[in-house]
Structure 1
Amino acid sequence: MDASQNSAPAAPTAETPAIRVENLTMSYGDFVIMRDLDFTVQRGDIFIIMGGSGCGKSTLLRVLVGLKEPAAGRVVYREGSLWDAEPEKRDQILRRTGILYQSGALFSSMTLAENISLPLSQYTRLSRKDIRELASLKLALVGLAGFEDFYPSEISGGMCKRAGLARAMALDPDILFFDEPSAGLDPVSAHLLDELILELRESLGATFVVVTHELASIFAIGNNSVFLNVDTRTMTASGDPKELLAHSTDPNLRHFLTRGQE
């Protein structure tokens, strides 16, 4: 065995990437979804995972957040390799992350403040008063000040997405993962959510990893990306989506980024 595999991970520096994906293969049984994925998410990126239907975008997200083990390869956070770590260490790594699911995934029987308070009560020793104040602060950050005592059924879909984002930020994560954040939203609400993501990146300095197929969002917020090619079952490009559109000669990527309008 390579001696480097037994050594402790190097101390993170300002240049240490948020996430490195190395030689990653994803499969369900013998069926390979994607193979040989190699890319880097830098700190402060809004990183887009993009590709056509069935390419494995959501599966990749599940691998990155510890919900599905890869068939091969590594996912390396600043603290070390996620899937090589012991369960307790893996939990510590993932504690620095937050996830916004497609539906917002709010508990319908709980108010917005109660939804956001849940992780704070589980993972901190803060008083109920402090937790309530933090929940109000997180809601204010996403434009929902004054909605603490509303239930999910009493607000719009776009507001539910914002509340879900507030809950994802409850523990002040370094990395936020979004699974199709614009799904089910009208164009105006989707645009407002994109603007909110940009504002939060600037104000919080967090890193965002976003699964999306929405071109408007890809070009509006993404500064780095990976393209998963469903035909070849591997990645065929990575980088700033706008630069990829300007310079790539990959026909599948260009078709995706132009929706076949070239």
Structure 2
Amino acid sequence: MPHTLSVNAEPCPDKAQALAQRLNLPLNEESNAQNDFALGWWPDPKALSETQTFKLALFPPTSGPVYVDFVGGKKNHRRQFGGGKGQPLAKAVAIQDRPRILDATAGMGGDAFVFASLGCDVTLVERSPIVAALLADALERGQQPDVPEDIRQIVERMSLVCADAADYLRAERPNVDVIYLDPMYPEKKKAAAKKDMQALQALVGPDLDSEALLAAALHTAEKRVVVKRPKGAPALKGPEPNATVQSPNTRYDIYSIKALNRPS
């Protein structure tokens, strides 16, 4: 990890102490040291929920708080105005069949929330304990009593596992129809990444084991594996995709398990 990481005690000292112990991180009694990352609870002035005024956030040294929010903000806006079942992501996973989906690279949960908003049960697998903590906090906030009922129902279809996805697939063999992969791709130097992606890359770096994860996914998924790739990027090493779905800046490679004749 290129940066040190700690947990800020204020403004939620009890939660902070429990989180620091769970993640085996130092606890900051005072403000975070300069040039360090910190986890802490941020009082979002735009929060829609009255019962939970604080959001667990990552505080990078050069930007504002990075957090996951399924109640408001960009994720909910995408749910309302992102194209629904007609968007390329939904087509790639055959959303019309209401598949059981495992998002093996959950990250900040944006794509998983789309799947759940379109009626699918989704398992989010995230190997970074830090990112998983942000997701867990967002899932908890999304089920508060004063959250709109439609959002609560979406969040209830989402479950979180903190594990290395390839290990989890090999050990647990979860019963899922579709496994979705969005490996973290190295950012082009001339393209400025969004602050949440910058924070993720600083903490966990690019994925260097995507081929192993694809292999594990192909031996687990019942119907298909879908891999999100930047436009122009090569497919992951392994079998050739059976089909692709294109969008302006992204390509979804589709691996049909039936077409691949997977051994039993």
Output the TM-score relative to the length of structure 1: 0.28
